[in-house]
Protein backbone atom coordinates (compact mmCIF):
# COMPACT_ATOMS: atom_id res chain seq x y z
CA UNK A 1 0.00 0.00 0.00
CA UNK A 2 1.43 3.34 -1.03
CA UNK A 3 1.50 6.23 1.47
CA UNK A 4 0.17 8.62 -1.17
CA UNK A 5 -2.60 8.72 -3.76
CA UNK A 6 -2.36 8.99 -7.52
CA UNK A 7 -3.55 12.58 -7.32
CA UNK A 8 -0.85 13.44 -4.80
CA UNK A 9 1.76 11.77 -7.00
CA UNK A 10 0.93 13.99 -9.96
CA UNK A 11 0.46 17.07 -7.79
CA UNK A 12 4.10 16.66 -6.75
CA UNK A 13 5.15 16.60 -10.41
CA UNK A 14 2.98 19.63 -11.18
CA UNK A 15 4.70 21.63 -8.44
CA UNK A 16 8.12 20.27 -9.38
CA UNK A 17 7.71 21.06 -13.10
CA UNK A 18 6.43 24.56 -12.35
CA UNK A 19 9.46 25.42 -10.23
CA UNK A 20 12.14 23.73 -12.33
CA UNK A 21 10.74 23.83 -15.88
CA UNK A 22 13.86 25.33 -17.56
CA UNK A 23 15.81 22.29 -16.33
CA UNK A 24 14.03 19.97 -18.76
CA UNK A 25 15.22 22.08 -21.71
CA UNK A 26 18.79 21.82 -20.46
CA UNK A 27 18.33 18.07 -19.99
CA UNK A 28 17.26 17.61 -23.62
CA UNK A 29 20.14 19.71 -24.91
CA UNK A 30 22.66 17.72 -22.86
CA UNK A 31 21.10 14.44 -23.96
CA UNK A 32 21.36 15.42 -27.62
CA UNK A 33 25.01 16.44 -27.20
CA UNK A 34 25.70 13.04 -25.63
CA UNK A 35 24.02 11.20 -28.49
CA UNK A 36 26.00 13.10 -31.12
CA UNK A 37 29.32 12.42 -29.38
CA UNK A 38 28.57 8.73 -28.88
CA UNK A 39 27.31 8.25 -32.43
CA UNK A 40 30.40 9.95 -33.89
CA UNK A 41 32.69 7.86 -31.71
CA UNK A 42 34.36 10.86 -30.09
CA UNK A 43 37.26 9.67 -27.88
CA UNK A 44 35.95 11.58 -24.85
CA UNK A 45 32.37 10.34 -25.28
CA UNK A 46 32.55 8.03 -22.26
CA UNK A 47 33.55 10.84 -19.94
CA UNK A 48 30.92 13.19 -21.31
CA UNK A 49 28.23 10.51 -20.90
CA UNK A 50 29.35 9.90 -17.33
CA UNK A 51 29.33 13.63 -16.55
CA UNK A 52 25.85 14.22 -17.99
CA UNK A 53 24.38 11.16 -16.29
CA UNK A 54 26.01 12.17 -13.00
CA UNK A 55 24.38 15.60 -13.29
CA UNK A 56 20.94 14.17 -14.12
CA UNK A 57 21.01 11.50 -11.41
CA UNK A 58 22.25 14.00 -8.85
CA UNK A 59 19.55 16.50 -9.82
CA UNK A 60 16.76 13.93 -9.54
CA UNK A 61 18.15 12.67 -6.24
CA UNK A 62 18.46 16.07 -4.58
CA UNK A 63 15.81 18.23 -6.21
CA UNK A 64 13.00 15.79 -7.00
CA UNK A 65 13.41 13.01 -4.44
CA UNK A 66 14.73 14.99 -1.47
CA UNK A 67 12.98 18.34 -1.89
CA UNK A 68 9.66 17.44 -3.52
CA UNK A 69 8.89 13.75 -3.01
CA UNK A 70 9.82 13.25 0.67
CA UNK A 71 6.80 15.24 1.96
CA UNK A 72 4.40 12.65 0.48
CA UNK A 73 6.62 9.57 0.70
CA UNK A 74 9.12 9.05 3.56
CA UNK A 75 10.84 6.32 1.49
CA UNK A 76 12.03 9.07 -0.83
CA UNK A 77 14.92 9.56 1.62
CA UNK A 78 16.20 6.15 0.56
CA UNK A 79 15.51 6.91 -3.09
CA UNK A 80 17.40 10.21 -2.84
CA UNK A 81 20.39 8.41 -1.33
CA UNK A 82 20.32 5.75 -4.07
CA UNK A 83 20.23 8.35 -6.82
CA UNK A 84 23.08 10.28 -5.21
CA UNK A 85 25.17 7.10 -5.00
CA UNK A 86 24.56 6.50 -8.69
CA UNK A 87 25.54 10.10 -9.44
CA UNK A 88 28.80 9.61 -7.52
CA UNK A 89 29.51 6.39 -9.44
CA UNK A 90 29.08 8.21 -12.73
CA UNK A 91 31.22 11.08 -11.42
CA UNK A 92 33.99 8.60 -10.69
CA UNK A 93 33.93 7.52 -14.33
CA UNK A 94 34.41 11.09 -15.52
CA UNK A 95 38.04 10.75 -14.38
CA UNK A 96 38.51 6.97 -14.47
CA UNK A 97 40.05 5.70 -17.70
CA UNK A 98 38.70 2.51 -19.24
CA UNK A 99 35.63 2.66 -17.07
CA UNK A 100 32.87 3.72 -19.44
CA UNK A 101 33.85 3.48 -23.09
CA UNK A 102 32.09 3.70 -26.42
CA UNK A 103 33.24 1.82 -29.48
CA UNK A 104 32.22 -1.23 -31.47
CA UNK A 105 29.04 -2.93 -30.30
CA UNK A 106 26.60 -5.50 -31.61
CA UNK A 107 23.55 -4.62 -33.68
CA UNK A 108 21.38 -5.98 -30.88
CA UNK A 109 22.88 -3.60 -28.34
CA UNK A 110 22.71 -0.71 -30.79
CA UNK A 111 19.05 -1.33 -31.64
CA UNK A 112 17.88 -2.02 -28.10
CA UNK A 113 19.76 0.97 -26.71
CA UNK A 114 18.41 3.30 -29.40
CA UNK A 115 14.85 2.10 -28.74
CA UNK A 116 15.17 2.84 -25.03
CA UNK A 117 16.70 6.26 -25.63
CA UNK A 118 14.01 7.30 -28.13
CA UNK A 119 11.28 5.97 -25.83
CA UNK A 120 12.61 7.89 -22.82
CA UNK A 121 13.04 11.17 -24.68
CA UNK A 122 9.97 11.17 -26.93
CA UNK A 123 7.41 8.46 -26.28
CA UNK A 124 7.49 8.48 -22.48
CA UNK A 125 6.02 12.00 -22.09
CA UNK A 126 3.86 11.52 -25.20
CA UNK A 127 2.18 8.42 -23.76
CA UNK A 128 1.51 10.29 -20.53
CA UNK A 129 -0.14 13.11 -22.47
CA UNK A 130 -2.23 10.71 -24.56
CA UNK A 131 -3.28 8.90 -21.39
CA UNK A 132 -4.97 12.07 -20.23
CA UNK A 133 -2.41 13.33 -17.74
CA UNK A 134 -2.14 17.10 -17.41
CA UNK A 135 0.84 18.32 -19.40
CA UNK A 136 2.06 20.37 -16.45
CA UNK A 137 2.07 17.26 -14.24
CA UNK A 138 3.67 14.77 -16.63
CA UNK A 139 7.00 13.24 -15.50
CA UNK A 140 9.48 14.65 -18.00
CA UNK A 141 12.70 13.32 -19.45
CA UNK A 142 15.95 14.14 -17.68
CA UNK A 143 14.32 15.52 -14.55
CA UNK A 144 12.02 12.63 -13.57
CA UNK A 145 13.33 9.27 -12.30
CA UNK A 146 11.71 6.73 -14.62
CA UNK A 147 12.51 8.19 -18.07
CA UNK A 148 16.02 8.95 -16.81
CA UNK A 149 16.53 5.31 -15.84
CA UNK A 150 15.30 4.08 -19.23
CA UNK A 151 17.64 6.54 -20.97
CA UNK A 152 20.48 5.32 -18.76
CA UNK A 153 19.81 1.72 -19.74
CA UNK A 154 20.03 2.74 -23.38
CA UNK A 155 23.36 4.52 -22.97
CA UNK A 156 24.82 1.65 -20.94
CA UNK A 157 23.81 -0.80 -23.65
CA UNK A 158 25.56 1.37 -26.20
CA UNK A 159 28.79 1.23 -24.21
CA UNK A 160 31.48 -1.18 -25.37
CA UNK A 161 32.91 -1.26 -21.86
CA UNK A 162 30.95 -0.57 -18.66
CA UNK A 163 31.49 -1.62 -15.06
CA UNK A 164 28.85 -3.87 -13.51
CA UNK A 165 28.19 -1.57 -10.57
CA UNK A 166 26.69 1.05 -12.86
CA UNK A 167 23.79 -1.32 -13.48
CA UNK A 168 22.79 -1.97 -9.85
CA UNK A 169 20.83 1.14 -8.86
CA UNK A 170 19.04 1.51 -12.24
CA UNK A 171 17.98 -2.15 -12.08
CA UNK A 172 16.68 -1.70 -8.52
CA UNK A 173 14.75 1.42 -9.49
CA UNK A 174 13.18 -0.48 -12.38
CA UNK A 175 11.48 -2.65 -9.76
CA UNK A 176 10.47 0.26 -7.53
CA UNK A 177 9.45 2.71 -10.23
CA UNK A 178 7.88 0.02 -12.37
CA UNK A 179 5.30 -0.60 -9.66
CA UNK A 180 3.78 2.78 -10.55
CA UNK A 181 2.54 1.29 -13.80
CA UNK A 182 0.20 -0.93 -11.79
CA UNK A 183 -0.39 0.80 -8.46
CA UNK A 184 -0.78 4.31 -9.86
CA UNK A 185 -1.93 3.51 -13.41
CA UNK A 186 1.00 5.21 -15.11
CA UNK A 187 1.08 3.44 -18.50
CA UNK A 188 4.40 4.86 -19.70
CA UNK A 189 6.15 3.22 -16.73
CA UNK A 190 5.37 -0.26 -18.05
CA UNK A 191 8.48 0.04 -20.19
CA UNK A 192 10.70 0.56 -17.14
CA UNK A 193 10.87 -3.05 -15.85
CA UNK A 194 10.75 -4.28 -19.44
CA UNK A 195 13.81 -2.22 -20.37
CA UNK A 196 15.67 -3.60 -17.35
CA UNK A 197 14.83 -7.18 -18.31
CA UNK A 198 15.86 -6.64 -21.94
CA UNK A 199 19.12 -4.94 -20.95
CA UNK A 200 20.07 -7.65 -18.45
CA UNK A 201 19.22 -10.43 -20.92
CA UNK A 202 21.46 -8.81 -23.53
CA UNK A 203 24.26 -8.54 -20.98
CA UNK A 204 23.82 -12.20 -20.05
CA UNK A 205 23.86 -13.19 -23.73
CA UNK A 206 27.04 -11.20 -24.38
CA UNK A 207 28.75 -12.63 -21.30
CA UNK A 208 27.80 -16.17 -22.30
CA UNK A 209 29.14 -15.68 -25.81
CA UNK A 210 32.40 -14.31 -24.40
CA UNK A 211 32.77 -17.25 -22.01
CA UNK A 212 32.16 -19.74 -24.84
CA UNK A 213 34.83 -18.32 -27.13
CA UNK A 214 37.97 -20.46 -27.46
CA UNK A 215 40.89 -19.16 -25.40
Please give the full DSSP string across 145-175, using - where no structure is assigned: HHHHHHHHHHHHHH-SEE-GGGTHHHHHHHH
> Residues near 106 by Cβ (< 8 Å), separated by ≥ 6?
206
Report yes or no on 115 lying in a domain: yes
1 within some domain: no
Using H for helix, E for strand and C for coil, what is the string for 169-186?
A: HHHHHHHHHHCHHHHCCC
> How many other C-beta atoms lie within 10 A of the C-beta of residue 5?
11
Q: What is the pLDDT of residue 179?
A: 83
pLDDT of the residue at 17:
97
Q: Are 78 and 140 in contact (CB under 8 A)?
A: no
Give the list of residues 6+ apart from residue 38 with CB closer than 8 angstroms, or none.
Answer: 45, 49, 102, 155, 158
Question: For residues 191 and 213, is the Cβ–Cβ distance under 8 A?
Answer: no
pLDDT at position 97 is: 66
> Which pLDDT belongs to residue 215?
38
Q: Which domain holds residue 117?
A: 6-207
Give domain status of residue 215, yes or no: no
Q: What's the pLDDT score for residue 178?
A: 85
b/e per residue, 131-145, with b = 16+ CB within 10 A?
Answer: eebeeebbbbbbbbb
**Beta carbons of 183 and 2 less than 8 angstroms apart:** yes
Q: What is the pLDDT of residue 181?
A: 79
Structural domain includes residue 214 = no
Residue 78 domain flag: yes
pTM metric for this prediction? 0.94
Residue 122 falls within a domain, yes or no?
yes
Counted domains in the chain: 1
Which residues of the chain form beta strands (DSSP E)? Answer: 100-101, 161-162
pLDDT tens series, the chain, 215 aa: 788 999 999 999 999 999 999 999 999 999 999 999 999 988 889 999 999 999 999 999 999 999 999 999 999 999 999 999 999 999 998 887 667 889 878 899 999 999 999 999 999 999 999 999 998 999 999 999 999 999 999 999 999 888 899 999 999 999 998 887 788 999 999 999 999 999 999 988 887 765 444 43
pLDDT (0 to 100) of residue 98:
67
Amino acid sequence: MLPFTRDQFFEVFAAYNAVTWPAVIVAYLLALIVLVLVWRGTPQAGRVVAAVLALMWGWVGIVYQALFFIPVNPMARVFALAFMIQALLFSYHVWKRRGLEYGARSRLRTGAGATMIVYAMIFYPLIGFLAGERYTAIPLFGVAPCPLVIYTFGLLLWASRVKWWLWVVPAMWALVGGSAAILLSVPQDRALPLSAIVALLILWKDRRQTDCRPQ
